[in-house]
Chains A and B, each alone.
Chain A
Amino acid sequence: MRYRIRHTTACSYTDDIQHAQHVLHLNPRPLPQQVLHVNKIGIEPVPETLVEHIDYFGNPVTYIAIETPHRNLTVRVDFEVEVAPLFEFHPAESPAWEVIREEARAAATPAAKDASICVFASAMIPPLPMLADYAAPSFTPGRPIGEAAFDLIARIHREFVFDPVATTIATPLAEVLTNRRGVCQDFAHLAVGCLRAVGLPARYVSGYLRTVPPPGQARLIGADATHAWISVWCGGDVWLDLDPTNGVRGSTDMVTLAWGRDYDDVSPMRGVLIGGGSQGLTVEVDVEPLDEA
């Protein structure tokens, strides 16, 4: 699948911002199955400083500093990306989850060491006992990891209500688990937390999801949104993408932006401002399939 993705973030302030610095996770991560063809980032006002580096998790990061007084800041990302189908993966033939857990614990191979980056608790995903309790029914002895992890995210999809007003990004995971409501970030944090609770390395992935309009209706431009899902280590170089919000496996419908231990590692834009008063924010995302008739 080839997509053109446009992601516009517009901030407005009630007073002049004298100086702003932002760290952006808005450039898509290059991956073997994901090839970038065109990639533009446009920022208004034009930053005095714009530099890129690769973060600890391998994601591209953009640092910008704006010294022009401004009341509006717009960041437009526009790129075309080719997403190839994922590798063959048969959940029933994957190793038992305990095997993966022990490999991760021993950290004897380079792949296992790499995976251990995301096996421990992180700021937004604390080691709550209730996570292990929730995970337990899916992780029966000897169950192949692909099946067990899919069962977990399918349960989250079944048992939790998607509710955009129930949580903010600051809502603690324990509350999400108690109230059984939230959005994709919450469900991704929950799934990652459950996997770590049983000793399995799991990543939080941010990206885009192709949306299919209702039958007979045209695709609405800009109506899409960023999405979040997870990736669980299945040994060696195999990471399995799973989307707990929709209860599905990763596919060419998904375009990866960045991954980390939790949202905090990959939040699209964080900044420190001088001046400004109160602030407004609008985000528009458009995921346009290019190779459809």
Chain B
Amino acid sequence: MDKVTRRGAWVVAVMVTAILAALWLEYALSPWPGQHLGHTQAGHIIGWIGFGLILLTFAYPAQKRLRPNQIWSRPRLYMHEILGILGPLLILVHSGAHFHAVVPVMALVALGLVVISGIVGAVLHSLAFRTLYDRRHELAQGGLDDRAIDARLHELAAQEGILRWWPWVHVPLTAVFVVLTVMHVGGALYFGGM
């Protein structure tokens, strides 16, 4: 098993474990059989916190769009990724494995697709960085100076087309998720009360 496959298997194992843990937590926190956590005040609060964390993930793309010339920040991307996993896990605790109304089910499916596309993107991003790092190392050993290495890597980075499709998947899914979630929250407040 090569490094990429091993890393992929590890990511999938952690994802499955986290999902099962969230579903178990929902079951454990439900007051009694038939009364789901999502329909209790505690469940509502967990849902709001999860939604709040997800909203905070928008700080990273917003900053990239509003300040395109600012140097890219790895910690901010990490924060985007961590919040983008913690928030959806809390939403999963909020929802549990109970599916009936179409709007929240669609919102949950959209959220799952956003998270999966995000994790795939993070893995690809990481691999791209590793490729660049390895290439820089090779070029340095070949006797090139830093300026020449930067020029070569700039070409390599420009040719790195694998991430170009990225916004084509992540952005529409996110838009659909946000709209469905706003509708779900609006519907819950409209029918369930403020």
A and B bind: no
